[in-house]
Structure 1
Amino acid sequence: LVDKVLRQIKTESGGNPHAKQHGADPDGDGSGPALGLMQTKRSTFDAYKLPGHGDLWNGFDDLLAGLNYAKHRYGDSLSALGNGHGYANGG
């Protein structure tokens, strides 16, 4: 599992906890850019952050929220991680 998570981080942010997707609203849906280590949208991070871990720019906090999101979205096996694409649709 650790290798899968590390591959996902490399795909999402290249390991940069301060990574920011280019543009103010790249998806054109008002959700803003993807941010941080796991490249979550601010609203996704806020919905899946764990108590006491609310700093999106802290790699550990963002990792916890990103994994919590992936678990809820794709299941406990986290099989969607580490396959060389972003979360949503392989984009």
Structure 2
Amino acid sequence: MQSAIIKTADSETGNRNIMQTISDVNSASGNPAGGPLQFTKTTFDAFAFPGHHNFRSSFDQVLAFLNNSDYLHATGNTSIWGHAKYDWLHSGPQGHKRFENGGIINTNQLIEVAEHNKPEMVLPLTNKSRANQLIAQAVNGNNGSQIASNSSESSEKLDKVIALLTALVSGQGNVQAVIAKSDVVNAVKSNTKKTSQYSQMMGY
């Protein structure tokens, strides 16, 4: 996978952190591709890893690449404008954002939940009373058919969850010039670390 990401960056930009240099439908619509992997801004935003929303950071682009459920099949040997090369197979990611370890959803989209048939819970952050009920269910180990009552304790837990999740997504990484092998390795390590932090935050 490390080789696949770097080869894609080499093919797209010569592994340079630049905006696209050709005119196409994306640039014409004001949504040009940029960065070593040449994500468009809207595609990058759709797959950005929590806390890593810097469009021009190569590290954040690697995380977005890995946050695609179909990342193992996203790149490969192909032909573009008659030239054989290794690149995106479909001009970009075709899967969905991965939420097996949680995350914040703030745009209308289709997602997969309960991956591997593991129970999950969706918290409506704009409906505090319902979120309180769901948090209390999770804390008390109730099944989906039981509705927990509101309490000051569950309200405090929701406030803590919202504050921590907000802190996770507010950070912005530094812009980096190219994708280095260390970026790919660190992206995987960061993914693992974020998963561990999220588990500790949620108490499991």
Look up the equivalent residue of 1:2 and give its one-letter code: Q
RMSD of Structure 2 on Structure 1 (CA): 2.2
Decide which structure has the larger Cα Rg and report it: 2
Deviating runs (4+, > 4 A) in structure 1?
Answer: none
Bigger proportion of residues as helix: 2
User: Aligned residue for 1:45?
Assistant: 44
Change (3 A) 1:15 1:33: same
- How far 1:87 sits from its partner (Å)? 4.0
Structure 2 distance, partners of 1:31, 1:48, is 19
Change (3 A) 1:64 1:87: farther
Greater relative contact order (Cα < 8 A, sep 6+) = 1
- How far 1:38 sits from its partner (Å)? 1.0
1:25-78, Cα deviation, whole Å (9 max, x unpaired): 62166252111111011000111101110111111001111332xx33xx25x1
Paired-residue identity, %:
29
TM-score, L = length of structure 2: 0.35
User: Aligned residue for 2:16?
Assistant: 16
Change (3 A) 1:86 1:34: same
Can you give the 5+ residue segments of structure 1 that lack an aligned partner in the other structure? none
Structure 2 distance, partners of 1:3, 1:58, is 19
1:81 aligns with 2:75: yes
1:62 aligns with 2:53: no
User: Aligned residue for 2:98?
Assistant: none
